[in-house]
Amino acid sequence: MSSDADYIRRMSDALRSGAKMLSEVCPVCNSPLFEVKGELRCIRCDKPVVKVREESEILSASTPLVLTQLENAISAKIDVLTHLLHQTADPEEIRQISDTISSLVKLFHESRRLSELLRKT
């Protein structure tokens, strides 16, 4: 199925499930935005869209995305380091890798804590 046909199918599915097509467009792909269960979404990008009225709102609107990207990067690094840890027998290298993994795990938990605090506000 072509991407246009898939997009049209997803738009139809969204409308059938009660979503509303809005006159506003996605800032990324210029497709119409939909309100789906109270959330603004771009069906083509398949992502939520956050409207900001003032420049000062940009930071608070983008912070959850930045934290998610950080958590994904940390998880990928932990995966790579875990693989390296399995391969080495050198005690110094084991210590360095373990320390790095420990720091990354702490950073990951701090990011999750911040994400939870943002959800509560």
The pLDDT tens digits for 99-118 are 999 999 999 999 999 988 87
Quote the crossing angle between the two packed helices 57-87 and 91-120, to the nearest 10°: 150
For residue range 22-75, what is the model confidence (pLDDT) as tens digits? 999 988 899 999 999 888 999 998 888 888 777 767 777 778 878 889 999 999
Question: pTM of the entire structure?
Answer: 0.57
**Which amino acid is present at 77?**
K
Question: What phi and psi values does residue 29 have, to the nearest 5 degrees?
Answer: -115, -5
Q: Are residues 90 and 116 in the same domain?
A: yes
Are residues 43 and 67 both part of a single domain? no
Residues 69 and 19 in one domain: no
On whether both 64 and 39 belong to a single domain, the answer is: no
Higher pLDDT, 77 or 4: 77
Domain enclosing residue 8, as ranges? 3-48
Residues 79-92: tens digit of each pLDDT: 999 999 999 999 99
pLDDT(1) > 60: no
The answer to whether residues 43 and 65 belong to one domain is: no
Strand 39-42 versus strand 47-48 pairing type: antiparallel
Query: What's the farthest any 2 CA atoms get from each other in the chain?
Result: 62
Q: Considering its fold, how many domains does the chain have in total? A: 2
Task: Give yes or no: residues 80 and 114 share one domain.
Answer: yes
H or E element, residue 104: helix 91-120
Using alpha carbons only, how large is the chain's radius of gyration in Å? Answer: 21
